[in-house]
Structure 1
């Protein structure tokens, strides 16, 4: 257990440092803008490129793994969406944000750093595949469901919605970096030594900066009240999602233990800060979305620690079947 605490305490410690620093220095949330720009557009893309460019091509075409992980995420979204429909008496927009809070994990900021610390570079490909296809799913679901909920006469036409969704997917920095990394792996391209050193510097900064920024964000969006939906969303996100991912990935294919464990770990991560961003963008469920990010993050300290203990001590079999 000491080894697991040694793994997760520095990780969650960075989030706590960001939280405490924000509370002490009292900087406005806008001051975080350039840090987020560096993380999203520079550091994390460099990390994804660095890892994927060295990956054997045959490992990048595991479609059964992609189907298992993406289907598990969609199943969790659908479950929480249906619960939301009953609780809101048919509000599609609010139910969509609830569904995203239950299914959209913090796989960008927390996923790569924690998986690599826990499982080493063997986790690179499964993490990248989950990241790309889960994000694609969310980029499609959010605008599509909000368009269905929009009954105003000036809502955008279907073709414009389709272009917007395609743009969000193809132009996202993480996905662009993944495409470039996979292309480099296929072509056998290696950057010159100076460029590789720069990429290494940037990749090394990705996880610490992302986690610190996450702590700052949580501190500057205070929890005013605990929403009633917490009773559904927190256990669905932190417990039900990884269980479904475990069952589906085990059932669909025969994958290396690191792949199964990586799928579970990413599924067990707390709600992404992007859930709040989406809620704010559409003006729906904003305060409660912020609360869900905070509450699932706090809860994940216990659940992720326990999950890592079960996986790293071979208590949890790598293949359920």
Structure 2
């Protein structure tokens, strides 16, 4: 446990640096936005494209694993949704809370952290889980919110979903990499070096940007934030373990990657959706902050348990 904690500590230390810089005024919100933009559109996209383009499609697209991950998210999603409805929250708010419980910071934190700790073998399962998060649940939340608001124009909602997917650089980088891999085009050295250099910036800049963005979060509605953080950091990994190991009997490494990804704190992009539609943005903001603080301990515990069981060895 101590070894894993010391291994993950530098990652959270970079997050803390970003948080401290933003709180001290050295990194204003405008700078945070540009850092996030750089990671989202360039560094992380380059990393995802390089991983995807250099792997056989059979490694990147494994339907059984992707279905298993969906079913690892589904029970937690339904439980949190039901709990919100029992608190008499509107359908839109219930969907946003459910989103907080299953969509983790897999792109900005999980990918760089697990690839650094495990190696390139960690990339394929992370890419598959990102696709489910972004395409399936990312579309679902928009459809539910627009439907719950009774706007009536479902065609416009579907167009917004489709446009959002096309504009998402992570999805486009993965799809472009899959096409590149399918065509069998090798990554020549200058291209590979360029992508490697640009992608290497993703880890430190993304972690710093996460910390800086957390400085703008509030801890209002702490009781709900603690419940949603607990669902994300405890219930989701437990559900992933049950589905991966018992229901689908996945190989140990793939099961371990699913559990590790499920243990990531709540993703920051949920706040963008909540703020855009005006659906419980403060609740989401508090959950993002609380889950990242708690993840310093909970994520280390999960990774230590998985390492001890030999489940993070390719």
TM-score range, shorter chain: over 0.9
Query: Contact 2:222 / 2:286 at 8 angstroms: preserved in 1?
Result: yes
Residue 62 of structure 2 corresponds to residue 57 of structure 1: no
**What's 2:125 paired with?**
126
Q: TM-score, normalised by structure 1?
A: 0.92
Residue 263 of structure 2 corresponds to residue 268 of structure 1: yes
How does 1:233-252 map onto structure 2 within 5 Å? 233-252=228-247
* Pairing partner for 1:186 from 177, 182, 186: 182
**What's 1:171 paired with?**
167
Query: Contact 2:45 / 2:170 at 8 angstroms: preserved in 1?
Result: yes
**What's 1:15 paired with?**
15
Residue 144 of structure 2 corresponds to residue 145 of structure 1: yes
> Partners in 2 of 1:315 and 1:226 — Cα distance?
39
> Partners in 2 of 1:43 and 1:241 — Cα distance?
28
SS at match of 1:229: helix
Query: Contact 2:21 / 2:27 at 8 angstroms: preserved in 1?
Result: no
Query: Contact 2:15 / 2:211 at 8 angstroms: preserved in 1?
Result: yes
SS at match of 2:201: helix
**What's 1:3 paired with?**
3
Deviations 1:171-216 (A, max 9, x none): 3110111011112222221233222221111110011111100000
Gap runs ≥5 in structure 2: none
> Partners in 1 of 2:7 and 2:24 — Cα distance?
26
Gap runs ≥5 in structure 1: none
Q: Which runs of 4+ in 1 moved over 6 A?
A: 315-318
How many Å apart are 1:293 and its aligned residue?
0.2
Query: Contact 1:105 / 1:270 at 8 angstroms: preserved in 2?
Result: yes
SS at match of 1:164: helix
SS at match of 1:190: coil
Bigger mean CA offset, 225-234 vs 93-102? 225-234
Bigger mean CA offset, 254-263 vs 174-183? 254-263
**Number of aligned positions between the proteins:** 313
Query: Contact 1:85 / 1:92 at 8 angstroms: preserved in 2?
Result: yes
> Partners in 2 of 1:316 and 1:177 — Cα distance?
28
How does 1:288-299 map onto structure 2 within 5 Å? 288-299=283-294
> Partners in 2 of 1:172 and 1:41 — Cα distance?
8
Q: TM-score, normalised by structure 2?
A: 0.94
> Partners in 1 of 2:105 and 2:180 — Cα distance?
27
